[in-house]
Amino acid sequence: MAATLKFEKREGRGKNEARRLRASGRIPAVLYGAEKGKAFEIAVDPKALLKILHSESGVNTLIGLEGMSDAGRDTRVLVKEYQLDPIDHKLLHADFYKVAMDKILTVTVPIVLKGEAKGVKQQGGIVDFVNREIEIEVLPGDIPENITVDVSELMLNQGVRVRDLQTEGAKWTPVSDADMMIVHVVTLKVEEEAPAADAVAAVPGVAPEPEVIKKGKADKEKDAE
């Protein structure tokens, strides 16, 4: 997915400048890689950026920055990092990095399961979704929103590892360990009931062990009194 985001350069730095920007409906941000060895201080609309971050492609959304006309070249970026307020979850700051459209990147994308496993329908197993993301190498313009894994044919004790993914014709290459388990069908574990206390006491020659209760802080204070 691709998107656009307007921005403006900023000259000031520090907490006072950040407060001023947020009061005006913008947040401070930094753009890396637009020029070698130089970072640009910029400001962006947090609502527009949040809409991008909440999209299907999230941080992997290729963003075209509008406002670099003075640089005389196309500027497309990815979100490097972003900071949220811990209380109201509003955006406070963001970092972007410029990407070269002809250079391969390593990104993390989510995995989506498709179908209902036969091992669930026919054998009473359950699907254990072990790893929900995978690292891949891909060109910026070919980053997928997600990678779909079909679990329809999985029987009990069968699974899909990274090496089992269908990559023929795909524009990406997996980077995660080939043996990494993504999903498998396992047996539903049933916890065994603990033997009743009176059953233990009924065994000839075996006295039931005393129950040990750990004292909490309040109990210790009472003992001290």
pLDDT value for 75? 84
Contact by Cβ (8 Å): 161, 180: yes
- In whole angstroms, what is the distance from residue 13 CA to residue 15 CA? 7
Of 158, 164, 167, the residue nearest 180 (C-alpha): 164
Domain extents for the chain? 2-98, 105-186
209/20: higher pLDDT: 20
pLDDT value for 217? 43
- In whole angstroms, what is the distance from residue 55 CA to residue 50 CA? 9
Beta-carbon contacts of residue 11 (< 8 Å; ≥ 6 apart): 41
pLDDT in tens, 103-145: 999 999 999 999 999 999 999 999 999 999 999 999 999 999 9
Least confidently predicted of 34-38, 59-63, 66-70: 66-70
Which CATH architecture best describes the domain 2-98?
Answer: Beta Barrel (2.40)
pLDDT value for 67? 74
Token output for 130: 């072990």
Q: Looking at residues 95-106, what average pLDDT do you find?
A: 95
CATH tag for 105-186 (out of 3.40.50.720, 3.30.2030.30, 2.170.120.20, 2.70.98.50): 2.170.120.20
Name residue, tokens 């000839």: 204
The answer to whether 2-98 and 105-186 have equal CATH topology is: no
pLDDT value for 218? 42
Of 165, 185, 182, the residue nearest 173 (C-alpha): 165
* Residue 221 in this model has a pLDDT that exceeds 60: no
pTM: 0.75
* Residue 201 in this model has a pLDDT that exceeds 60: no
